[in-house]
């Protein structure tokens, strides 16, 4: 990088700590501050974090004139206000998904970012996975002909706690939103219609929160292809992340990452490693690549690789999927983004 980028991080939970740990290994990045409402309980971590100061109040980061960029890793219901305040102060913004639970609030944040002219990147890390990127290239370059069917499997190793379910916005907003983004990314086309079915099969108590833990989502794309996503909150064998793009001239398949590719065959059967446990293990290289892309955009004044519009569209698909689940019918997705306040 050509110059140092000074960073503040809002939220020191699992994903915030992951980004901080990855940033420590990047040249030209200085992690000045981290804020978290539970800062009192983070002192031991902070002492070895490499961060210069820890605070409970994110406003200290917003108001710090030396900080160039902010990573928003706090709960979703805090995102919009922090985005608007950071943009007003001229900070570049990296925000974890989703932007918000409300289309109106998301567009308000979008307007604030556009008006301020700052960089904004949404945290869809799977785009930066080397395998998925190769499938995207195969589709884009017609290596499998015209895309006909896109199949995405995404299953977590264990269900979240119910207090997380209560505030997460639902499976489509907190989990499947990554798959909705992958559907757009791999196909190179907008999703124009969604039909979702599902149930609470892993933990029936999830139904008490008007949510599900098992889902099938059918997609129609603007380019005429079709897609299907299957989700589960619990795959007992590990983090199940597979994908197939099937086209008129062939297919491109991504299988699970495992600890090794060794297969041991004996008279008792064939033994192979299970998939990696969860997203921290499966996607860490992708997490590194995505923040490198963000910092490159800042230092070279180029477009970020995953833009605000991508966050808006994935959120719209998630909202449509929930409506489809509730109504039992396919739901259309609005594919244009209109700004009322910026002319």
Q: Give the domain CATH number at 75.
A: 3.40.50.720
Percentage with pLDDT > 70 across the chain: 98
The Cα–Cα gap between 172 and 100 comes to 13
Does residue 339 lie in a domain region?
no
For the chain, the distance separating the N- and C-terminal CA atoms, rounded to the nearest angstrom, is: 35
Question: Mind listing the pLDDT tens digit for each residue in 260-316?
Answer: 889 999 999 999 999 988 887 889 999 999 999 999 999 999 999 999 999 999 999
User: Quick check: is 226 in a domain?
Assistant: yes
Asked whether residue 343 carries a pLDDT value surpassing 50, the answer given is: no
Distance from C-alpha of 73 to C-alpha of 205, rounded to nearest angstrom? 28
Question: In this structure, are residues 145 and 245 in contact, taking their beta carbons and an 8 Å threshold?
Answer: no
Residue at 292 is within a domain: no
Tell me the pLDDT tens digit for each residue of 173-186. 999 999 999 999 99
Give phi and psi for 126, each to the nearest 5: -65, -25
pTM: 0.94
Q: Are residues 262 and 137 in the same domain?
A: yes
Distance CA 295, CA 94 (A): 10
Report CA torsion sign: 177, 182, 187, 189. positive
Question: 91, 118, 145 — which closes off a domain?
Answer: 118
- Number of domains comprising the chain: 2
Q: Is residue 18 part of a domain?
A: yes
Last residue of a domain, one of 100, 118, 136: 118
Give just the sign of the alpha carbon dihedral 301, 304, 305, 310: negative
Q: What is the pLDDT of residues 94-134, one digit of tens each?
A: 999 999 999 999 999 999 999 999 999 999 999 999 999 99
**Residue in this structure with the two tokens 């599902």, named with its chain if needed:** 198
Q: Give yes or no for a contact between 329 and 100, defined as CB atoms under 8 angstroms apart.
A: no
Task: Work out the angle between the directed axes of helices 308-327 and 103-116 (0-180°, nearest 10).
Answer: 170
SS3 64: coil
154 and 264, same domain (yes or no): yes
What's the CATH number where 254 sits? 3.30.360.10
pLDDT score, position 2 = 53
222 and 327 together in one domain = yes
| CA-closest candidate to residue 211, choices 193, 195, 198, 196 | 198
Structural domain that includes position 228: 126-277+313-332
Q: Are residues 112 and 39 in the same domain?
A: yes
Average pLDDT, the chain: 95
pLDDT band at 339 (very low <50, low <70, confident <90, very high): low
**What pLDDT, on the 0 to 100 scale, is given for residue 341?**
42
Residues 140 and 64 in one domain: no
| Tokens of residue 22, six digits | 């990855």
- Which residues neighbour 304 within 8 Å (Cβ) at sequence distance 6 or greater? 119, 120, 121, 293, 294, 297
In a domain, 290, yes or no: no
**Residue 143 and residue 77 share a domain:** no
What is the pLDDT at residue 342? 41
Are 181 and 51 within one domain?
Answer: no
pLDDT tens across 10-68, in order?
999 999 999 999 999 999 999 999 999 999 999 999 999 999 999 999 999 999 999 99
pLDDT for position 134: 98
Identify whether the C-beta of residue 190 lies closer than 8 Å to the C-beta of residue 313: yes
- Considering only CA atoms, which of 127, 146, 321 is closest in space to residue 245? 146
Sign of the alpha-carbon dihedral angle for 101, 105, 109, 114: positive
- Kindly report, residue by residue over 181-233, the tens digit of the pLDDT: 999 999 999 999 999 999 999 999 999 999 999 999 999 999 999 999 999 99
Please tell me whether residues 100 and 177 are part of one structural domain: no
Assess if residue 236 is contained within a domain: yes
Residue 287 lies in a domain: no
Domain identity same for 60 and 147: no
Please indicate, yes or no, whether residues 147 and 267 belong to a single structural domain of this protein: yes
Distance CA 164, CA 176 (A): 15
Q: Do 25 and 72 sit in the same domain of this protein?
A: yes
Better-scored residue on pLDDT, 72 or 280: 72
Domain boundary (95, 118, 141) is at 118
Sole residue written with tokens 């808006």:
312
Bridging pattern class, strands 214-221 and 191-199: antiparallel
Do both 205 and 114 map to the same domain? no
Q: In this structure, is residue 308 part of a structural domain?
A: no
């Amino acid at each position: 990088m050509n110059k140092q980028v000074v960073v503040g991080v809002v939220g020191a939970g699992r994903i915030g700590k992951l980004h901080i740990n990855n940033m420590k290994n990047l040249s030209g990045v200085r992690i000045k501050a981290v804020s978290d409402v539970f800062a009192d309980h983070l002192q031991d971590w902070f002492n070895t974090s490499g961060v210069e100061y820890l605070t409970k109040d994110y406003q200290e980061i917003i108001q710090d004139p030396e900080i160039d960029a902010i990573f928003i890793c706090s709960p979703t219901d805090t995102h919009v206000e922090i985005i608007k305040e950071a943009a007003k102060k001229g900070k570049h913004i990296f925000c974890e998904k989703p932007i918000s639970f409300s289309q109106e609030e998301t567009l308000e944040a979008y307007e604030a970012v556009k008006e301020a002219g700052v960089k904004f990147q949404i945290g869809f890390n799977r785009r930066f996975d080397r395998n998925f990127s190769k499938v995207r290239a195969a589709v884009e370059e017609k290596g499998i002909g015209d895309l006909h069917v896109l199949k995405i499997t995404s299953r977590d190793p264990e269900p979240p706690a119910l207090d997380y379910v209560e505030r997460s916005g639902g499976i489509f907003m907190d989990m499947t939103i990554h798959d909705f983004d992958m559907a757009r990314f791999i196909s190179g086309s907008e999703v124009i219609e969604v039909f979702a079915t599902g149930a609470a099969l892993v933990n029936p108590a999830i139904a008490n929160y008007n949510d599900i833990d098992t889902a099938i989502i059918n997609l129609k794309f603007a380019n005429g292809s079709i897609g299907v996503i299957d989700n589960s909150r619990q795959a007992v064998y590990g983090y199940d992340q597979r994908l197939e793009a099937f086209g008129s001239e062939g297919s491109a398949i991504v299988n699970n990452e495992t600890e090794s590719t060794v297969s041991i065959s004996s008279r008792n059967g064939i033994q192979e490693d299970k998939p990696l446990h969860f997203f921290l293990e499966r996607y860490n290289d992708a997490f590194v690549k995505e923040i490198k892309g963000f910092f490159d955009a800042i230092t070279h004044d180029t477009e970020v690789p995953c833009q605000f519009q991508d966050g808006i569209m994935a959120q719209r698909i998630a909202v449509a999927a929930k409506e489809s689940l509730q109504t039992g019918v396919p739901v259309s997705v609005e594919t244009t983004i209109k700004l009322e306040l910026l002319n």
